[in-house]
Structure 1
């Protein structure tokens, strides 16, 4: 398993596969979740280094997921890159208010996704020796 783990919460299969491919080639372990309802359970189970979260998801919005994540004392510091097809200013403001670490509007360049992810994950990776435990580590309970 790769040391750098990301949970990609994206319901559009083509976008999810493109992002997964890009990140895997860059050394990230990628888990994809298409359901907004299942995202928080996945985050708690995986404890990824970072999360890429779509704004509009079936079952539950990315903003709802992010707000609940930020309220969780164990997971709240996990870096989150918010993606949306609606790049209006109010979406950026809502994502920032909910606690997004960074924001990208679709369509985006592949290099931008990787650069944004690595930028938000850098402090976590530097501070944890990549595989640390706690809020964002990728280790499993043993």
Structure 2
């Protein structure tokens, strides 16, 4: 079925290897194309180069915070269609409000269950490649 569309692309911006490995497992199993950067200073350039459908963005990163990256993505009109899902271990209501105010499309608290993350990714991207049929089919 050629031409049904490309795989959804996700960029993971996460400095903790153990979390990145779990995210890699989930993204592979769900059938998404994905890549990873481990520090904030590389993130924006990679987002612009890759133009992912979704950025899984850790709040606490070396060099540049996830909040700054989210804000920069939202200030770049060429990235209007990029969804941002922020992840943080500090899951207070204040943190959530700050992320959403800066333009995040979703916010998830670590540690999270993979099902919770999968559901949030599907909410933001719509039906994934893993389902194997177009939205509305059925």
TM-score interval for Structure 1 and Structure 2 normalised by the shorter chain: 0.7 to 0.9
Question: Structure 2 length as normaliser, TM-score?
Answer: 0.85
Counterpart in the other structure of 1:74: 78
Q: Which runs of 4+ in 1 moved over 3 A?
A: none
Counterpart in the other structure of 2:63: 59
Q: Give the conservation status (yes or no) of the 8 Å contact 1:70–1:77.
A: no
- 1: CA distance, partners of 2:49 / 2:14: 18
> Are residue 44 (structure 1) and residue 78 (structure 2) matched?
no
Counterpart in the other structure of 1:7: 11
Q: Choose 1 or 2 for highest CA Rg.
A: 2
RCO higher in structure (CA 8 A, sep ≥6)? 1
Unmatched 5+ stretches in structure 1: 131-142
- 1: CA distance, partners of 2:126 / 2:103: 17
Which deviations, in whole Å up to 9, do the C-alpha atoms of 1:74-122 show, x marking residues without a partner?
Answer: 0133111100000011100100100110110001000111111111112
Q: 1:100 aligns with which of 104, 110, 123?
A: 104
Q: Give the conservation status (yes or no) of the 8 Å contact 2:53–2:81.
A: no
Question: Structure 1 length as normaliser, TM-score?
Answer: 0.83
Unmatched 5+ stretches in structure 2: 1-5
Counterpart in the other structure of 1:25: 29
Work out the number of aligned pairs and report it. Answer: 124
Counterpart in the other structure of 2:92: 88
Q: Secondary structure at the match of 1:74?
A: helix
